[in-house]
């Protein structure tokens, strides 16, 4: 049997460690350094003192673990200054999304319209009547600022907006189905990314999930056979980020609504992305529309505000007033409520739909609707910067963000290649990411690709400037 060996420091090692400890400058000596004293003009003494102590503790730990020499005063000061600069510099930065994925979750999903940004800035910079009734001078409700607009756009009786769609699902199930059963097709017990799984959310909300059918086939009779006195709702979860092809069968939302009416049960419709425009007009597969669910009499329909809606992060719930009122009164509604800034931005985004100007104003729809000849013209201008290093080729853009799985739009790509292969492509990509405004592309077959469809025209100069930076000598 093997036993672990315990390493015992030798007297020589202990002597060296003690010597290095003594070489470390005192806290006062570090604080007295000229660079630290200049920082004291902008930062509180307590903050600088804390950072200096933390750095000296780090130095002692390094010596204890075997570093052969102590850092000099200059090195310690530099470490403190660097740490402070890193803390004060925001790590969340704007980037240009040239990946060809319009709703790129890692890059923040939907960009916002100018009007939405203005509305958010206006509300953020002052007090507001968020929960104050200006007419009566008494406490009001934040729901009134957007509920009427959502009802007008969807035809629903009532509406509620929360933090995000995951919150919407959790609130609906907790408030209306706790300790009861909700029936879901087995093929819809999905994971939507980041480990977020419908069955897990149901368990968290205290609901018993009743799975019916098989992965590829579910029929109306499966719902009928599963309904019992403990059933409180039927639920559809739109498979917004994957497709099942081949031998399949599913129950349509029309059939589910009819089943709900027949058995006196509400239908919950989780659309995931949600959509107010007919995607087929842009050459894409049809995406379930919010208005369709509402028109069929579905009890509650919920969807994201920051995907195909094109607004800030939000979870939107529309449906029957009796059910929405119960959600508003539930304690969890306060925990997941939307803040004033995003509420203002979402309202401004929805106004674009009200005025019929979504494809002209909302970035995600501007990108989807962009003509191919315009994309070709912009791609040519990008490629000109790099000369023979780049060419314009045909390609496909994904909508992304858990929307329209498998659906793509034709585009023109700037292909940047180098005979050195993937290593060179990665190096070029890294250089673009290191610019003042990082430009993010994608690598395919050892070629760096930039897609203008996922870039707004007003960002073109940023892209060209970044390309000039990786091609020195070209104007």
In whole angstroms, what is the distance from residue 64 CA to residue 176 CA? Answer: 58
Q: What is the DSSP letter of 111?
A: P
Which residues are 303's β-sheet partners? 272, 316
The token pair that represents 84 in the structure block? 């402070």
Nearest-10 crossing angle of helices 372-386, 460-470: 30
In whole angstroms, what is the distance from residue 86 CA to residue 284 CA? Answer: 44
End-to-end CA distance of the chain: 71
Which among 176, 330, 186, 200 has a CA at the least distance from the CA of 266?
Answer: 176
User: What's the CA dihedral at 284, 311, 201, 159 to 10 degrees?
Assistant: -100
Q: What is the pLDDT of residue 192?
A: 63
Q: What is the pLDDT of residue 20?
A: 77
Q: What is the pLDDT of residue 406?
A: 67
Site of tokens 């750095």: 55
What residues contact residue 361 under an 8 Å CB cut-off, 6+ apart? 113, 114, 115, 352
Q: What is the pLDDT of residue 10?
A: 62
What kind and span of H or E run contains 31?
Answer: helix 27-31
In whole angstroms, what is the distance from residue 377 CA to residue 359 CA? Answer: 20
The token pair that represents 261 in the structure block? 């009416």
Specify the pTM: 0.87
Q: What is the pLDDT of residue 316?
A: 97
Note down pLDDT in tens along the chain; length 475 residues.
445 444 445 666 676 777 777 888 999 999 999 999 999 999 999 999 999 999 999 988 888 887 778 789 999 999 999 999 988 888 899 999 999 999 998 999 999 999 999 999 999 999 999 999 999 999 999 999 999 999 999 999 999 999 999 899 999 999 999 999 999 998 877 666 555 677 777 777 788 888 988 878 889 899 999 999 999 999 998 875 556 776 778 889 999 999 999 999 999 999 988 899 999 999 998 888 999 999 999 999 999 999 999 999 999 999 999 999 999 999 999 999 999 999 999 999 999 999 999 999 999 999 999 999 999 999 999 999 998 889 999 999 999 876 676 678 999 999 997 665 556 889 999 999 999 999 999 999 889 999 999 999 999 999 999 999 988 554 4
Q: What is the pLDDT of residue 241?
A: 54
Which residues are 270's β-sheet partners? 237, 302
- Kindly provide the b/e burial profile for residues 368-400, where b requires at least 16 CB atoms within 10 angstroms of the residue's own CB: bebeeeebeebbeebbebbeebbebeebebbbb
- Contact 363/111 with Cβ under 8 angstroms? yes
């Amino acid at each position: 049997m093997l036993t672990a060996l315990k390493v015992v420091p030798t007297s020589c090692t202990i002597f060296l460690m003690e010597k290095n400890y003594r070489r470390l400058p005192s806290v006062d000596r570090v604080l007295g350094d000229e660079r630290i004293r200049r920082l004291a003009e902008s930062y509180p003494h307590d903050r600088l003192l804390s950072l200096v102590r933390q750095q000296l503790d780090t130095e002692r730990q390094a010596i204890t673990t075997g570093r052969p020499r102590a850092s000099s005063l200059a090195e310690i000061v530099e470490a403190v200054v660097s740490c402070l600069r890193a803390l004060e510099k925001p790590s969340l930065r704007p980037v240009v999304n040239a990946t060809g994925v319009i709703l790129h979750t890692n890059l923040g999903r939907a960009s916002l319209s100018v009007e939405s940004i203005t509305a958010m800035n206006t509300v953020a910079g002052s007090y507001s009547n968020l929960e104050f009734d200006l007419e009566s001078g008494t406490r009001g409700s934040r729901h009134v600022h957007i509920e009427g607009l959502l009802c007008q756009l969807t035809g629903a009786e009532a509406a509620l907006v929360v933090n995000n769609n995951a919150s919407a699902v959790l609130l609906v199930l907790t408030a209306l189905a706790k300790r009861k059963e909700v029936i879901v097709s087995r093929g819809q017990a999905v994971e939507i990314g980041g480990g977020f799984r419908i069955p897990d959310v149901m368990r968290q909300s205290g609901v018993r999930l009743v799975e019916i059918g098989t992965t590829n086939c579910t029929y109306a009779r499966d719902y009928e056979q599963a309904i019992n006195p403990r059933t409180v709702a039927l639920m559809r979860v739109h498979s917004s980020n994957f497709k099942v092809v081949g031998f399949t069968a599913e129950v349509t939302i029309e059939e589910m609504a009819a089943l709900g009416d027949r058995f006196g049960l509400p239908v919950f419709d989780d659309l995931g992305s949600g959509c107010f425009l007919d995607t087929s007009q842009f050459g894409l597969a049809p995406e379930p529309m919010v208005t369709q669910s509402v028109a069929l009499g579905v009890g509650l329909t919920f969807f994201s505000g920051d995907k195909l809606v094109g607004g800030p992060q939000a979870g939107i719930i529309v449906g029957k007033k009796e059910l929405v009122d119960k959600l508003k009164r539930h304690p969890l509604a306060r925990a997941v409520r939307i803040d004033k800034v995003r509420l203002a931005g979402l309202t401004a985004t929805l106004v674009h739909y009200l005025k019929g100007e979504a494809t002209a104003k909302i970035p995600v729809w501007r990108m989807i609707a962009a003509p191919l000849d315009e994309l070709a013209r912009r791609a040519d201008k990008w490629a000109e910067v790099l000369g023979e290093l780049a060419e314009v080729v045909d390609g496909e853009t994904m909508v992304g963000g858990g929307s329209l799985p498998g659906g793509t739009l034709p585009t023109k790509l700037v292909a940047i290649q180098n005979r050195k292969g993937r290593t060179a492509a990665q190096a070029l990509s890294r250089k673009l990411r290191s610019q003042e405004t990082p430009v993010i592309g994608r690598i395919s077959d050892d070629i760096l690709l930039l897609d203008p469809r996922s870039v707004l025209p007003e960002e073109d100069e940023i892209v060209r400037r970044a390309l000039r930076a990786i091609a020195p000598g070209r104007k």
